[in-house]
Structure 1
Amino acid sequence: MSVNHGALLGRARKLVPRLGGELAGYKGQAGKVGVFGGCTEYTGAPYYAAIAALRCGADLSHVFTTRGAATVIKTYSPELIVHPYLYESEDLGGEAEARGDAELPERAVERVCEWLPKLSCLVVGPGLGRDPVALSTAERVMHKAMQMNVPLVVDADGLWVWNSPSFDPRPFAEKDQAVVLTPNAVECNRLRARYGTDLGGALGENIVVIEKGEHDQIRVGGGPATVVDTEGSPRRCGGQGDVLAGCVATFLSWGRKAVGTEGDPSWKTASAYAGARLTRSASKAAFAKRGRATLCTDLVEEIGPAFSALFD
């Protein structure tokens, strides 16, 4: 599909709140993003999603993670608010049962959901892993967020939940909220096996799919894809998808506030486009400086300059 990049950038720029204007009030007006993910093995992914949201311009980033990952993630940055609420199967062994803690997963859901009304967007999945207890908790939290109209970005292992035969996407598809899926090529193939080749058509008008690849393709409903083919980095360093998720979450936060109850759905596509375009621009700038040595930490440092060039 031929893309009018100028029109999409213009739409995205209208979502960006003015510093010193409508943000002259209090901390949190520019977005409070939550990231649900991380586990003992994977601590970098939720960090990159959360720090990317801050670098993009969100005021606050919360990370909801396991006890084994929380302390590690706290050491990465003092900017992040880290909640060690989640449990994995190994936490629910004999000792937990002896203490009467069989309802620990239920308690985790309740503690996360206490924060949902305070969040402007929730990212689910970075570094979550495949532990069945963690995945079950993620599914329940996503349903609660949907019921509360909290915009969702579903990435990485959050998509594993959507691939489950028991998962029903219809409540998400039928509710007029913002849901953005961000699968890579492998995850796209799994989703297509579950829902059909035409993901946009299968999931409906209320769910945006960013198919990540050499060219990112944004699909909504059964229409043609919006192709984001601007230059990025030829080096695919780990964490780039997490950065994309965090940037999209920030734009969704702004979009929901800017649009309010107007009912114009184009802000969802504009938010997805803005996040993809920003991530590509930042990765290009990082590669120009570091070449093959580029890491995701280098990409994060380029988000601010890339944002200014595109949206300010």
Structure 2
Amino acid sequence: MADVVQLRKSEGNGLLSEERHDAVLRLTLANPPANALSIALMEALSAALDKAAADDGIRVVVLAATGSLFSAGHDLKEMTAHRADADGGRSFFEKTMRMCADLMLKIAGLPQPVIAEIDGLATAAGCQLVATADLAICTDTSTFCTPGVNIGLFCSTPMVAVTRAAHPKQAMEMLLTGETIDASTAKDFGLVNRIVPKQYLRQVVDKYAAVIASKSPEALRIGKAAYRAQAGLPLPEAYDTAISIMVDNMLRDDAKEGIGAFLEKRMPEWKGSPE
């Protein structure tokens, strides 16, 4: 197994730290206290995800954060400063929302599974980030909210991810009230998978990441894309899509190797497995 490899800070801005351990890439929002999704931070995160997508050696990506907030969402100070622009800030607001949407689409479309590691408050676009990740594991003191309605700004873009992760009425409850929910409620709503004590968060996330990273890289890529492809389809079309994908998967090298290894009662050797 490879040693831990520390990667460089993103583009010299210090907003995002990168750390790689074997086939797991950890991206940590490093702009406390708010870890706001400013233009600079979104650019850094987007660039890091592009590199991960192009690296066949990376099988899992973890999104974490420093400080007491996972992310406070958009940088409202940055956005408010552009109200002085000639168009009242419209162009900058459109740029911010489009960049955030593109970032969420990039996470959803990333070949590798993405695990959100949350310790603290995830609010507005920060909650959107959690809802967009494939899996989410949080501490028992973490909290979540979509509070835009409290400041006259309905969380319409976070709504897209939240309504796809949480149950419909619970998602609307969050969006309409703007109230903060605790970790247990977030799990009941469907926003997070697991709740763990703070001292065990990194250990549990690392374990999940390692288990997933041990699987076939082909199967992980195919499976994540297949899940997204069928999720919004009517049932017959979903099965048609899944059949086509699974037949193609059966013809791939890792399926041949995995099934052969199972029948022969040995460990599989995945194509491109790290040394």
TM-score, normalised relative to structure 1: 0.33
Computing the radius of gyration from Cα coordinates, the structure with the larger value is: 2
TM-score, normalised relative to structure 2: 0.36
